[in-house]
C-alpha cells in the first residue's frame, strides 16, 4: 500500500552536463560520454534508494532531454532548431520530413543497465507518441493533407501520432517488456494541449502498448484534467500519475479548504474511477521542502476518495528543476510522510 | 491596405524569433556573465539584421521583430499598476506567457520606448495586445475599460513614434464564444486609428458580421477559417502562410488558390507569430512572403 515512486528526471551532475555538451557539439564520442552517464546513473540510483523510494529509476542520466533523446534516434525527424517555451527558455524542436521509423532502439541498453544495477523495482519512463507528434513540426503529413482547415490538420496529426506509436514506440516497449522492469510509464505532458485531439491521444497510446506484456501507466502534468476525465478509462493504462501539489496550499490538514489542489479527486470518485492513481505530493517548482506532515495530510485527504490500495505516491513531475540536494530532501520527506500516512491508514 | 498592384501585398506580422546568438547572449546575461550593455549591443545587431532581411526580401511592409518582448503582454506588465503573474499556457501551444495582474494600470512611455525597435530602424508595423484578449487573459482587479484605455494610449503613442499601422492581437475573439457587447465597448475609442484587429486560433467567418460592423480592418487565419467562408467577410488580410510549421508553402500555388476563391484583391500575412519557428525558418517564411509579394 502507498508505494512510493519518482516520476523521471533528476538534475544531471555538472560533470555529466559538461560532457554531454562536448558530445552534442561533436567534440567527443558517445563511447567517451558513456562512462560519465553510467557513473551518474549509479549515483542517482543510490540517491533514490537512500531516500527510501520503493520503486526507482536513474533520473534520465542516459538522455539529454525527454524530446531530444527520442527524435535523434528516429529516422524521418530532423532537428530544426530552438523554439521559445516562455521568456528566454527554449527547447530544441524537430521537423518530421518523412514517415517516422526507428533508427536505433534508444531505451533497451539503458533499461538493461538500470535493472542490472538497482536493488529495488524499476519504473521506466518513455516519452509518448502524442507528445512527440505535438512537439514536432509536422511537415510530411501536412504536405500530404494540407495545412488549411482543422480537419486536415487533425488528420495530419493523427497519422503522425499513430505511425510514431506503431513503428517507433511499440517495438521499443515490446523489447523493454522482456527486461525485469516493474512497470513502464508513458509520459504525455502534451496530452490535453488540444482538447479536440483527445481521441488521438487515446488511440496513439493504445497503439503504442498493443501486445506489450508489461503493466503500463501514464503520466500527465500541468494540464487541465477536466479535459482528460471523460477519456481516462479508455486508455487501458493501469495508473494515471498526475500533478496536484503545485495547485495546493502548504497548510496542514485534511479538510477541503486546506487541500485545494486535490479537488479533482472528488470528480474522480464521482465518475467511479477504479484505476491506480499516482498522487503528486511534491511541488517540483519550488526549493521549499515539504514537511513529512504535509505529505501525510495530502495522502490522508486523497484516501477519502481513492482506496489506499490504489494510491501511489510521487512528486508532481520530474525533479530536474531542482538541485540534486533539494531533490533528495524532498524525496526523503515524501517517503517519511508516506510512512506516517501508512501508520494512520493501517 | 496600401496601394494595389498585380501581386498581393505580403508582409510579416507579430513577434519574430530571437537569433541563436541573441538567445545565447540573453542566457549569459541572466547568468550574470555579460552586462546589460552587451545584451543591448547584440539586440541592436539583431534589429539591423531582421530589418535588412525584411527589406531585402521585398515584403510590402517591415514589422518590428519585437524580439525583446518575452510575450505580447510583457512591456505592459512592467508598467505601473500591472504585474507579471503565473506562467500560463498560450492557447493550444507548448508556449507560455506571464498572466498580467491588472490593478490600476497606467501607460508608461518610458517603459514602451525600451521595447520599440523603431528606436533603431524605421519599421512600419508593430503588434500590441488587443484590449479584449488582454482583458480576458489577465487577472483583472479593475474594469475591462481600463485595459482598453491603456492600449488606446499605447496605440496613439506608437503611431506618434512613426509606426504606420498597429496590429492588435485578438485570438480570444475567435477562440472562445465572443461577447460582442464587450468587444464593441472596448473598441469604441479605436475607430479612427490606424489599426488592424489580428485574429488567429479560430474561425473568423463566424463573427465577421460583428467585426464588419465595427468598421475596423481585421485579419483571417486561414488555417482555421475555411477559404470559401472568407468570401462572406469584408476582410481580405489573410493569414495564409503557416507561422507554426516549418513546411514552406508554394507561393504560386498559394496565391492561385486564394485568387480562385476571393478574387484579386487580398493581402497575405503569416497566420500566427513567426516566433513559433526557429530563427532560420522564420527567415525562410519571410523570404516566402517576399516571393508572394514579388510574384515569384
pLDDT of residue B5 exceeding 70: no
pLDDT band of B296, cuts 50, 70, 90: low
Q: Quick one: pLDDT at residue B86? A: 84
| DSSP single-letter state for residue B206 | G
CA distance A252 to B163: 55
Interval A19-32 mean pLDDT: 95
List, for residues A29-73, the tens digit of each pLDDT value.
999 999 999 999 999 999 999 999 999 999 999 999 999 999 999
pLDDT of residue A269 exceeding 90: yes
Percent of chain A with pLDDT over 90: 96
pLDDT of residue B1 exceeding 70: no
Whether residue B96 and residue A85 make contact (CB cut-off 8 A), yes or no, is yes
B119 lies within 8 A of chain A by CB: no
Q: How many CB atoms within 10 Å of residue A215? A: 17
Interface A-B: count of C-beta contacts within 8 A: 80
Segment A252-257 long-range contacts (CB within 8 Å, at least 24 positions apart): A252/A293, A252/A294, A252/A297, A253/A297, A254/A297, A254/A300, A254/A301, A254/A304, A255/A301
Question: What's the mean pLDDT when you consider all of chain A?
Answer: 96
Q: Which of A78, A80, A81 should we substitute to test contact with B (largest number of B Cβ atoms within 10 Å)? A: A81
CA distance A226 to A229: 5
Coil, strand or helix: which one is A208? helix
The grid coordinates of residue B93 equal 501551444
| DSSP single-letter state for residue B192 | T
B152 lies within 8 A of chain A by CB: no
List, for residues B15-32, the tens digit of each pLDDT value.
999 999 999 999 999 999
pLDDT of residue B6 exceeding 80: no
Beta strands in chain B (DSSP E): 9-10, 82-89, 96-102, 125-129, 139-140, 165-169, 195-198, 217-221, 237-241, 267-270
Contact list, A85 vs chain B (CB under 8 Å) = 94-96
Domain B9-72+121-294 in CATH 2.60.120.380: no
What ipTM was estimated for this complex? 0.94
A148 lies within 8 A of chain B by CB: yes
Segment B41-50 long-range contacts (CB within 8 Å, at least 24 positions apart): B43/B67, B43/B68, B44/B120, B45/B21, B46/B18, B46/B19, B46/B21, B46/B22, B47/B117, B47/B120, B47/B121, B48/B120, B48/B121, B49/B19, B50/B16
Sign of the CA dihedral A75, A76, A79, A83?
negative
What pairs with residue B128 in β-bridges?
B168
Q: What is the helix (H) or strand (E) element at residue B172, kind and residue range?
A: helix B172-175
Q: Order the strands of the A311-315 sheet from edge to edge.
A: A3-4, A311-315, A276-282, A239-242, A216-220, A183-187, A123-127
Q: Quick one: pLDDT at residue B2? A: 40
Predicted TM-score (pTM) of this structure: 0.94
CA distance B20 to A318: 27
Nearest CA in chain A to B239: A148
Whether residue A84 and residue B275 make contact (CB cut-off 8 A), yes or no, is yes
pLDDT band of B58, cuts 50, 70, 90: very high
A153 lies within 8 A of chain B by CB: yes
Whether residue A84 and residue B97 make contact (CB cut-off 8 A), yes or no, is no
Distance from CA of B188 to the nearest CA of A (A): 32
B221 lies within 8 A of chain A by CB: no
Distance from CA of A85 to the nearest CA of B (A): 4
What pairs with residue B163 in β-bridges?
none
pLDDT of residue B4 exceeding 80: no
The answer to whether the beta carbons of residues B226 and B195 sit under 8 Å apart is: no
Domains, chain A, in order of start with CATH, read 3-63+103-129+180-345 (3.20.20.210)
A14 lies within 8 A of chain B by CB: no
Q: Quick one: pLDDT at residue A148? A: 85
The answer to whether the beta carbons of residues B11 and B293 sit under 8 Å apart is: yes
Interval A61-87 mean pLDDT: 97
* Ranges of each domain in chain B: 9-72+121-294
Q: How many CB atoms within 10 Å of residue B187? A: 24
Whether residue A149 and residue B223 make contact (CB cut-off 8 A), yes or no, is yes
CA distance A224 to A195: 9
pLDDT band of B3, cuts 50, 70, 90: very low
Interval B156-184 mean pLDDT: 98
List, for residues B203-260, the tens digit of each pLDDT value.
999 999 999 999 999 999 999 999 999 999 999 999 999 999 999 999 999 999 999 9
Coil, strand or helix: which one is B198? strand
Amino acid at each position: 500500500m502507498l508505494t512510493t515512486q519518482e516520476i523521471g528526471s533528476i538534475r544531471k551532475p555538472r560533470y555529466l552536463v559538461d560532457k554531454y555538451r562536448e558530445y552534442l557539439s561533436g567534440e567527443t564520442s558517445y563511447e567517451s560520454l558513456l562512462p560519465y552517464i553510467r557513473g551518474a546513473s549509479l549515483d542517482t540510483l543510490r540517491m533514490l534508494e537512500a531516500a527510501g523510494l520503493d520503486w526507482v529509476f536513474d533520473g534520465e542520466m542516459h538522455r539529454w532531454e525527454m524530446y531530444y533523446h527520442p527524435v535523434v534516434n528516429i529516422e524521418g525527424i530532423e532537428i530544426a532548431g530552438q523554439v521559445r517555451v516562455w521568456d528566454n527558455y527554449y527547447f530544441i524542436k524537430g521537423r518530421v520530413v518523412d514517415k517516422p521509423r526507428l533508427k536505433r532502439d534508444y531505451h533497451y541498453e539503458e533499461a538493461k543497465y538500470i535493472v542490472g544495477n538497482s536493488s529495488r523495482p524499476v519504473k521506466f519512463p518513455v516519452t509518448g507518441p502524442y507528445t512527440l507528434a505535438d512537439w514536432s513540426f509536422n511537415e510530411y503529413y501536412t504536405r500530404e493533407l494540407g495545412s488549411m482547415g482543422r480537419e486536415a490538420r487533425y488528420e495530419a496529426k493523427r497519422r503522425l501520432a499513430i505511425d510514431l506509436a506503431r513503428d517507433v514506440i511499440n517495438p521499443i516497449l515490446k523489447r523493454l517488456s522482456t527486461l525485469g522492469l516493474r512497470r513502464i510509464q508513458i509520459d504525455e505532458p502534451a496530452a490535453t494541449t488540444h482538447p479536440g485531439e483527445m481521441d488521438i491521444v487515446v488511440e496513439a497510446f493504445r497503439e503504442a502498448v498493443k501486445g506489450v506484456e508489461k503493466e503500463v501507466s501514464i503520466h500527465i502534468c500541468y494540464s487541465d484534467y477536466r479535459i482528460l476525465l471523460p477519456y481516462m478509462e479508455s486508455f487501458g493504462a493501469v495508473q494515471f500519475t498526475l500533478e496536484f501539489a503545485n495547485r495546493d496550499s502548504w497548510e496542514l490538514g485534511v479538510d477541503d479548504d486546506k487541500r485545494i489542489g486535490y479537488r479533482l479527486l472528488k470528480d474522480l470518485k464521482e465518475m467511479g474511477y477504479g484505476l491506480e492513481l499516482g498522487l503528486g505530493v511534491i511541488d517540483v517548482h519550488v526549493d521549499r521542502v515539504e514537511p513529512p506532515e504535509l505529505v501525510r495530510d495530502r495522502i490522508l485527504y486523497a484516501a477519502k476518495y481513492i482506496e489506499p490500495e490504489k494510491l501511489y505516491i510521487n512528486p508532481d513531475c520530474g525533479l530536474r528543476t531542482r538541485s540534486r540536494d533539494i531533490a533528495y530532501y524532498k524525496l526523503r520527506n515524501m517517503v517519511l510522510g508516506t510512512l506516517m500516512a501508512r501508520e494512520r491508514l493501517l | 491596405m496600401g496601394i494595389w498592384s498585380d501581386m498581393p501585398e505580403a508582409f510579416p506580422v507579430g513577434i519574430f524569433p530571437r537569433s541563436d546568438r541573441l538567445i545565447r547572449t540573453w542566457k549569459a546575461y541572466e547568468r550574470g556573465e555579460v552586462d546589460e550593455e552587451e545584451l543591448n549591443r547584440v539586440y541592436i545587431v539583431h534589429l539591423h539584421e531582421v530589418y535588412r532581411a525584411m527589406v531585402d526580401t521585398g515584403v510590402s511592409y517591415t514589422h518590428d521583430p519585437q524580439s525583446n518582448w518575452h510575450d505580447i503582454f510583457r512591456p505592459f506588465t512592467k508598467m505601473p499598476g500591472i504585474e507579471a503573474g503565473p506562467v500560463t499556457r498560450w492557447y493550444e501551444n507548448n508556449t507560455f506567457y506571464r498572466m498580467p495582474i491588472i490593478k490600476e494600470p497606467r501607460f508608461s512611455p518610458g517603459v514602451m520606448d525600451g521595447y520599440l525597435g523603431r528606436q533603431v530602424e524605421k519599421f512600419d508595423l508593430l503588434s500590441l495586445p488587443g484590449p479584449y484578449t488582454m482583458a480576458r487573459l489577465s487577472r483583472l482587479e479593475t474594469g475591462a475599460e481600463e485595459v482598453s484605455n491603456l492600449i488606446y494610449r499605447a496605440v496613439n503613442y506608437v503611431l506618434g513614434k512613426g509606426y504606420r499601422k498597429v496590429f492588435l492581437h485578438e485570438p480570444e475573439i475567435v477562440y472562445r464564444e465572443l461577447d460582442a457587447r464587450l468587444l464593441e465597448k472596448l473598441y469604441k475609442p479605436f475607430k479612427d486609428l490606424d489599426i488592424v484587429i489580428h485574429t488567429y486560433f479560430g474561425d473568423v467567418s463566424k463573427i465577421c458580421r460583428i467585426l464588419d460592423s465595427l468598421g475596423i480592418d481585421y485579419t483571417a487565419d486561414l488555417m482555421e477559417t475555411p477559404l470559401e467562408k472568407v468570401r462572406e467577410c469584408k476582410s481580405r488580410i489573410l493569414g495564409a502562410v503557416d507561422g507554426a510549421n516549418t513546411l514552406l508553402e508554394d507561393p504560386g500555388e498559394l496565391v492561385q488558390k486564394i485568387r480562385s476563391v476571393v478574387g484579386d484583391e487580398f493581402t497575405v500575412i503569416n497566420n500566427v507569430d513567426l516566433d513559433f519557428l526557429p530563427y532560420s525558418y522564420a527567415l525562410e517564411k519571410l523570404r516566402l512572403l517576399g516571393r508572394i509579394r514579388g510574384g515569384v
